[in-house]
Amino acid sequence: MLCLVAVVLLAKQFSYPLDYAIERAGLPQACVGVIVATIVLLPESIAAIKSAVHNKLQVSLNLALGSAIASICLTISAVAIVSLLVAQPLELGLPPGHLALLRLTLVIGALTLGTGRPTVLQHAIHLVICGFFLLVSAVA
């Protein structure tokens, strides 16, 4: 828990200059969260890419999804606890476009994991969805 608090505090300090750069570039505020999440998930992402290069696609998928799900669950839990401590309402809403992408990701993820060994095409579909999410976040 102490490490999680340290990561959250470091991310908060890092977000101020990043916030300024995003504002100067004219990008939406959602880009700050995407960049911070990318930095947090970078070590597992590198390991997942190395596994994919060595044709270990199942290990790659497990690394990528496992780290993302763990980070999301820990982050939401920490934010929920902090919002209770400071008596501030918590809003985790998604705009309709992002909600549609979330649903699509869940369906594609279930198909990828439910069919046994994933293929390169299935991984490419996940990358296309991720790229589309980044595009929608930058334009919105």
* Average confidence (pLDDT) over 88-97: 73
Say what percent of the chain tops pLDDT 70: 93
Q: Where are the domains of the chain?
A: 1-92, 94-140
Rounded Cα–Cα distance for residues 131 and 46 (Å): 17
Q: Look over the chain and give the mean of its residue pLDDT values, rounded to a whole number.
A: 80
- The pTM of this model reads 0.53
Taking the CB of residue 48, how many other CB atoms lie within 10 A of it? Answer: 24
Alpha-carbon torsion angle 13, 15, 20, 24, nearest 10: 160
pLDDT at residue 140, rounded to an integer: 61
pLDDT at residue 93, rounded to an integer: 67
Question: With contact defined as beta carbons under 8 Å apart, do 40 and 7 qualify?
Answer: yes
